[in-house]
Amino acid sequence: MIGVVQTALSLDVRGVRYAYPDGHVALHGVDLTVPRGDRVALLGPNGAGKTTLVLHLNGILTPTEGSVRVGGLAVTPDRATLAEVRRRVGIVFQDPDDQLFLPTVAEDVAFGPANLGLRGAELAVRVDEALAAVGMSEHRARAPQHLSFGQRRRVAVATVLAMHPEILVLDEPSSNLDPAARRELAEILRGLPVTLLMVTHDLPYAAELCDRSVILDGGRIVADAPTLDLLGNETLLARHRLELPYGFTPQP
The average pLDDT across 110-139 equals 96
| Per-residue pLDDT at 2 | 45
Number of helices (H) and strands (E), helices first, in the chain?
9, 10
Please give the Cα distance from 34 to 12 (Å, whole number): 7
Query: Per-residue pLDDT averaged across 21-27, rounded?
Result: 95
Q: Which of 34, 101, 89, 100 is nearest to 61 (CA)?
A: 89
Residue 59, C-beta contacts closer than 8 angstroms, at least 6 positions apart = 75, 76, 77, 81, 82, 85, 86
What CATH number matches the domain at 9-239, 3.40.50.300, 3.80.10.10, 3.40.50.1220, 1.10.10.10? 3.40.50.300
Residues constituting the chain: 252
Confidence band of 7 (pLDDT split at 50, 70, 90): low
**Contact criterion met (CB below 8 Å) for 250 and 58:** no
Compute how many other C-beta atoms are within 10 angstroms of the C-beta atom of residue 15. 13
Residue 4 has pLDDT above 70, yes or no: no
pLDDT at 221: 98
Whole-prediction pTM value?
0.92
pLDDT digits (tens, 9 = 90+) for 238-250: 999 999 998 888 8
pLDDT reading at 170 higher than 70:
yes
CA distances, 221 to each of 44, 169, 214 (Å): 9, 18, 7
1 pLDDT more than 60: no
E-strand stretches of the chain: 9-19, 25-35, 39-43, 65-70, 73-74, 89-92, 167-171, 195-199, 212-217, 220-226
Query: Over 50: is that where the pLDDT of 131 sits?
Result: yes
What integer best gives the mean pLDDT of the chain? 94
pLDDT at 251: 75
Kindly report, residue by residue over 171-204, the tens digit of the pLDDT: 999 999 999 999 999 999 999 999 999 999 999 9
